Amino acid sequence: MLTIKNLHASIEDKEILKGINLEIKPGEVHAIMGPNGSGKSTLSSVIAGREEYEMTDGEMSFEGEDLSEMDPEERAHKGVFLSFQYPVEIPGVSVTNFIKTAINAQRKAHGKEDMPANEMLKLIREKSEMLEMDRKFLSRSLNQGFSGGEKKRNEIFQMAMLNPKLSILDETDSGLDIDALKVVANGVNKLRSEDNAVLLITHYQRLLDYIVPDVVHVMVDGKIVKSGGKELAYELEERGYDWVKPEKAV
Ligand code: ADP
Ligand code: MG
Ligand code: MG
């Protein structure tokens, strides 16, 4: 689904990603862990195509198509979803209206008419019930006064509605409380299928107790220095990151 080879990327002429290789197949959940500043968020931004970042070398394809030539919108319409670390507040635009607009934009990109209102309502009901969302939440202004858990719930709701092929979930470095953690975990687990994949960027080993990854990667200084199964996350929890750093690797 996603193939990344020797990816190098810079911001303001400073090289951040220094040769990333990553292959994600349908049905898989990959976790990327690593110390603060190692380039995890940069990788998610580069995959999503955010313009501040310049890809300077390597290849990146999604379902066989070259991603590097696509703008962020095109990537989203192909099925790449990035949850934002700091979602914007949009006063006066409800959670429901925001997602309706997003859904119809996606349909338009595929040459489809707007989703009929009754179908949209049915989809919203189905997904919000699946995620055990309060109906009142759906009419609130986007992100305005949302708690950490509510922001996460909204992101997962957007993901459920848009049904992306690849979801990139980049968790903030600041505290995700246990409620927010469970919201993310339950949502992701419900949405997991043989057809879609998840790239979960986190340094919360605890999150990986709830969302069991197929592969865990460790990123240090712009490179993936180690990959393994879910047990790698526990090893990192116990031993920290120093032992995986290249100069100390066994
Ligand atoms: P992580 O998510 O692993 O904590 P980041 O990808 O956020 O790491 O950051 C990697 C490096 O890139 C850091 O040294 C950071 O200071 C730098 N960086 C990230 N974004 C920017 C930016 N917009 N401008 C300048 N430097 C940046
Ligand atoms: Mg960081
Ligand atoms: Mg980050």
For the CA atoms of the chain, what is the radius of gyration? 18
* Complex prediction ipTM: 0.94
Q: Are 165 and 1 in contact (CB under 8 A)?
A: yes
List, chain by chain if needed, residues with CB within 6 Å of any ligand 1 atom.
Answer: 11-12, 16, 34, 36-42, 52
Q: Are the beta carbons of 124 and 118 closer than 8 angstroms?
A: no
For atom 15 of ligand 1, the residue with the nearest CA is 37
Question: How far apart, in Å, do the first and last CA atoms of the chain sit?
Answer: 32
Chain position carrying tokens 């690797």: 249
Q: What is the rounded CA–CA span in Å between residue 40 and residue 117? A: 39
* 41 backbone dihedrals φ, ψ, rounded to 5°: -70, -35
Helix, strand, or coil (residue 236): helix
Contact 216, 208 (CB under 8 A): yes
Q: Are 5 and 58 in contact (CB under 8 A)?
A: yes
Q: Concatenated DSSP letters for 160-214?
A: HHH--SEEEEE--SSPPPHHHHHHHHHHHHHH--SS-EEEEE-S-TTHHHHS--S
CB 92 within 8 A of CB 141: yes
Residue 129 is assigned to a structural domain of this protein:
no
Q: How far apart are CA 227 and CA 30, in angstroms?
A: 10
The Cβ of residue 202 has, within 10 Å, a number of other Cβ atoms equal to 24
Q: Give the closest ligand to the alpha carbon of residue 37.
A: 1
Residue 43 CA: nearest ligand 1 atom is: 6
Q: Looking at the domain assignment, is residue 117 inside a domain?
A: no
Atom of ligand 1 nearest to the CA of 34: 3
Average pLDDT by stretches of 10, the chain with 250 residues = 98 96 97 93 94 95 95 91 72 91 93 97 94 90 84 89 93 68 87 94 83 95 96 89 73
CATH number assigned to the domain comprising residue 226: 3.40.50.300
Q: What local confidence, expressed as pLDDT, does residue 2 receive?
A: 98
Q: Looking at residue 67, what is its pLDDT?
A: 96
The rounded Å distance from CA 69 to ligand 1 centre is: 23
Domain for residue 100, yes or no?
A: no
Rounded to whole angstroms, the Cα distance separating 6 from 137 reads 43
Residue 244 CB contacts under 8 Å (≥ 6 apart), including other chains? 218, 220, 225, 226, 236
Our count of domains for the chain comes to 1
Write out the H or E segment, with its range, that includes residue 246: none
Say if 166 falls within a structural domain: yes
- Closest atom of ligand 1 to 201 CA is 2
Q: How far, in Å, are 99, 206, 250 from residue 244 at the CA level? A: 41, 20, 8
pTM comes to: 0.91
pLDDT value at position 153?
86
pLDDT computed for residue 46 by the predictor:
96
Please tell me the predicted confidence (pLDDT) of residue 146.
Answer: 85
Closest CA to 162 of 221, 115, 94, 229: 115
Does 94 reside within a domain?
no
CA 60 to CA 52: how far, in whole Å? Answer: 17
Q: If you average pLDDT over every residue of the chain, what do you get?
A: 90
Tell me the per-residue pLDDT of 137-181, one tens digit each, with 9 for 90 and over: 999 998 888 887 888 888 889 999 999 999 999 875 556 677 778
Is there a domain that residue 60 lies in? yes
Residue span of the structural domain in which 167 resides:
2-88+161-248
pLDDT of residue 60: 97
In a domain, residue 9? The reply is yes
pLDDT of res. 247: 67
Helices (H) and strands (E) in the chain, counts: 9, 12
